[in-house]
Amino acid sequence: MSTTAIEVTTDEPFSFDMEGLKGCIEKSYLLGVVVLFEVVLRVLMCITKEKGKPRFPLLPPIYFCLITPIFYLVTLLSGTPFSAIKDAGYFFPSPDICDPNDDGECVRQTILSSIFNEDVWTMWHVINFSTISWTAVAKSIPTMISLIAFSLIHVPINIPAFAISTNVEADFNAELVAHGYSNAFAGLFCGLQNYMTYATSLLYAKAGGEGKGSSIAISIGTAA
């Protein structure tokens, strides 16, 4: 997970050798921002403790929500052009939402057309089973099993913790079925793996989120 975090932050492959260390040093200005925000959060959590317990439970989520506004505020106050910050790698590349027509003009796509387009089914057209290295597939099976086990661990670990924090009795069967359906649909549409996260769910519950209506509303909002 640490390696992935470094690679996402620096946008370069990372390895535990001199080349990987050299890449981290060259992109230290990107890693430095992450470290700075983390150190400030830890300091705030330490100085706001009362008798060894956190005084403000919502401090971490509020802090994380303020990272983006603070970043933009510092950028504006420093007078740094956004183009320079983008070129430095502080922003993820924006998706191409233009679809050129016959005249070469850019036609803006809608949200639905950008998601459900012909590219969604491309993987099912280009797969040629005769060219697949089944030896490589067999070697990757342990990795796939590990990923499945890793996602399943979230349910027996996080659900009881969440139930204790919210005083709600959890139904493990319903949770496992929900995880199965969500990952099945995500796989059909080439989506990412889904699993329950304790911190996000607890924040959602403390904010008054309960019932299927609230869950559907937040799902629509997240998708939008």
Q: Are 48 and 70 in contact (CB under 8 A)?
A: no
The predicted model gives 32-60 an average pLDDT of: 83
Predicted local confidence at residue 55, as pLDDT: 80
Our separate counts of H helices and E strands in the chain read 11, 4
- pTM surpassing 0.75? no
| pLDDT tens-place string over residues 113-164 | 656 666 667 767 777 888 888 999 899 998 888 877 777 777 778 888 888 8
Are the C-beta atoms of 196 and 159 separated by less than 8 Å?
yes
Please determine, for residue 100, whether its predicted confidence score (pLDDT) is greater than 60: no
Please provide the DSSP assignment of 174-211 as one string.
HHHHHHHHHHHHHHHTT-------HHHHHHHHHTT--H
Q: Per DSSP, what are the bridge partners of residue 54?
A: 49
Amino acid at 144: M
Angle between helix axes 2-10 and 28-47 (nearest 10 degrees) is 120
Determine the pLDDT at residue 99.
56
Contacts of residue 33, defined as CB under 8 A and 6 or more positions apart, other chains included, come to 71, 90
